[in-house]
Amino acid sequence: MIKTIFRNTILVGILVLAICSLLFYGLQYKQTINETFDELSLETSYAIPALERSGVEYLGSLGDENRVTWIGHDGTVLYDSEYENLSTDQSRYEEVADALKDGVGESMRKSDSSGVQTIYYARMLEDGTVLRLSRPLGAAWYALVAVSPVLWVLVLVLLLSGILAFRAAKQIVTPINNLDLDNHANNPYPELAPLLDKIQEQKMMIQEESSLREEMRREFSANVSHELKTPLTSISGFAELMATGNVSPDKVTEFSKDIYKESQRLISLINDIIKLSRLDENADLPPKEDVDLHELALGIADDLKPAAGKNNIYIDVTGDSVHISGVRQLLYEMVYNLCDNAIKYNYPGGKVTMETLRDNRNVKLVVSDTGIGIPKEHQKRIFERFYRVDRSHSKEIGGTGLGLSIVKHGAIYHDADVTVDSTPGKGTTITITFPGENAE
């Protein structure tokens, strides 16, 4: 930041100085040329009477700062202080032509003889000849060097502004670096107040998020241990009792059945964990194929009929045959879990409906039940791993607490959307919407 402020300030300084120097030297240059013309004019006015009086010897006695040329009225060179035997017709030059015509003439051009940019001034004598004085433009440039102290001043100003710019940049940045983000009262720049407020807001948000995440993590660990510990505690308890040898044979049969049930629960829990971790890694999934969701729902209804029958729950499959491209096994798991929940969390004699339909280009699978419903505050969390609305009844109802997580991950894998609509005591409707591009 210091570098940027410094660079920008110094750039502005250089730019301003460059513009000022250009203006100054431009004006100075113009003025020097005008002054040279004036000087040449003045010197000509002194030289002409002397030339008329003393003739060409006078010209030879003139100093060598200027080139002096005496030109006849026909343009021939009568005398030149620098070149002997110049045979060029001088009347073709602008200043000489003007002098021959109007009495005086001036011009600035490249000299044919020296090849140097030169300032010319010519004036006609009474006898019709012309006296021309000229001086190379380089002399005007030397005059500019005469004002070179100004240049040094500019360089000095530039150096000074560099030092000041660096100090100013440091003065701006240091308080920002020393800002106390927890205590805004010491903020030296009121302009930074909105930024500091935003930082404070974000800090609070991060703190809230991390404490929420920590709470969820703790809850998750507690849930996992609960799910694993409950069946294991039962198994260990029954086995311990049986090991005493004091259990009657019919109790042994009963305990063995319980041990079998709890082991099955553990096995299905581990299977669900394996399914989820495979989904997490997108690993080992069979390729997508054409799946008729209606047909799939009919098969699942058949598979779950015995479980539904235990509580007199009626399963209905309605709607049309709709095809999507998906992983059959995964889709089976998803719809099975939804239908299984609709049976598990239903009232005896209740109803479960699975409907497949097309909605514009999308394909929908809707599983609804007339069961216990899910209170609003739990609806968002039921897709979390091991989350259960009523943990106290989970043992008798069964399940692993992972069914809806598999539904959610399966939906993500198929780019589908899952929504929940539920009213406690009345029932639940869960809809999976497959996007048009997945529909066949």
Of these, 304, 313, 327, 372, which contacts ligand ADP (CB under 6 A)?
372
Q: Which stretch binds ligand ADP (CB under 6 A): 30-38, 68-76, 205-213, 399-407?
A: 399-407
Binding residue (CB under 6 A) for ligand ADP from 401, 414, 416, 432:
401
In the region spanning residues 230 to 289, those forming contacts with ligand ADP, defined by CB under 6 A, are none
Secondary structure (3-state) at 109? strand
- The neighbouring-strand residues paired with 117 are 110
Span near ligand ADP by CB under 6 A; candidates 186-194, 243-251, 295-303, 394-402: 394-402
Cβ distance to ligand ADP smaller for residue 105 or 401: 401
List the structure tokens of 149. 């102290």
d(CA 44, CA 52): 12
How many Å apart are CA 130 and CA 122, to the nearest integer?
Answer: 7
Query: How many CB atoms within 10 Å of residue 206?
Result: 10
Judged by CB, which is closer to ligand ADP: 362, or 394?
Answer: 394
The single residue among 345, 350, 416, 434 that binds ligand ADP, judged by CB under 6 A, is: 345
- Closer CB to ligand ADP, residue 128 or residue 375? 375
- Between residues 90 and 337, which has the closer beta carbon with respect to ligand ADP? 337
Pick between residue 47 and residue 334 the one whose CB is nearest to ligand ADP. 334
Adjacency order of strands within the sheet including 314-319: 314-319, 351-359, 362-369, 427-434, 417-423
Instruction: Return the number of the residue (96 or 374) whose C-beta is nearest ligand ADP.
Output: 374
Give the separation between CA 389 and CA 344, rounded to whole angstroms. Answer: 13
SS3 366: strand
Alpha helix segments (H runs only) across 345-402: 376-379, 394-397
Measure the CA–CA gap between 343 and 336, rounded to whole angstroms.
11
Distance (Å, rounded) from C-alpha 390 to C-alpha 341? 13
Residues 303-342 that bind ligand ADP (CB under 6 A): 337, 341-342
Residue 329 dihedral angles phi and psi, to the nearest 5°: -60, -40
Q: Is 70 in the site for ligand ADP (CB under 6 A)?
A: no
Question: Which CB atom, from 238 or from 345, has the smaller least distance to ligand ADP?
Answer: 345
Q: Are 353 and 298 in contact (CB under 8 A)?
A: no
State yes or no: residue 371 binds ligand ADP (CB under 6 A). Answer: yes
For ligand ADP (CB under 6 A), the number of binding residues is 23
Nearest C-alpha neighbor of 313 from the set 269, 354, 284, 276: 354
| CA atoms within a 13 Å half-sphere pointing along the CA-CB vector of 429 | 9
The answer to the question of residue 369 lying near ligand ADP (CB under 6 A) is yes
Bridge pairing between strands 77-80 and 104-110: unpaired
Tell me which H or E stretch contains 363.
strand 362-369
Does position 223 interact with ligand ADP (CB under 6 A)? The reply is no
CA separation for the pair 90, 78 (Å, rounded): 11
Closest distance to ligand ADP from the beta carbon of 178 (Å) = 52
Cα 163 to chain centroid distance, Å, stands at 34
Token pair of 118 as six digits:
């030169």
Q: Which is nearer to ligand ADP, 13 or 399 (CB)?
A: 399
* Residue 374 binds to ligand ADP (criterion: CB under 6 A): yes
Q: How far is the CB of 297 from ligand ADP (least distance, A)?
A: 15
Task: Name the one range near ligand ADP by CB under 6 A: 72-80, 118-126, 384-392, 411-419.
Answer: 384-392
Q: Does 44 bind ligand ADP (CB under 6 A)?
A: no
Q: Which stretch binds ligand ADP (CB under 6 A): 1-9, 31-39, 173-181, 381-389?
A: 381-389
Q: What's the closest the beta carbon of residue 428 comes to ligand ADP, in angstroms?
A: 4
- Least Å distance, CB 306 to ligand ADP, is 18
Residues in touch with ligand ADP (CB under 6 A): 337, 341-342, 345, 369, 371-374, 382, 387-390, 394, 399-405, 428
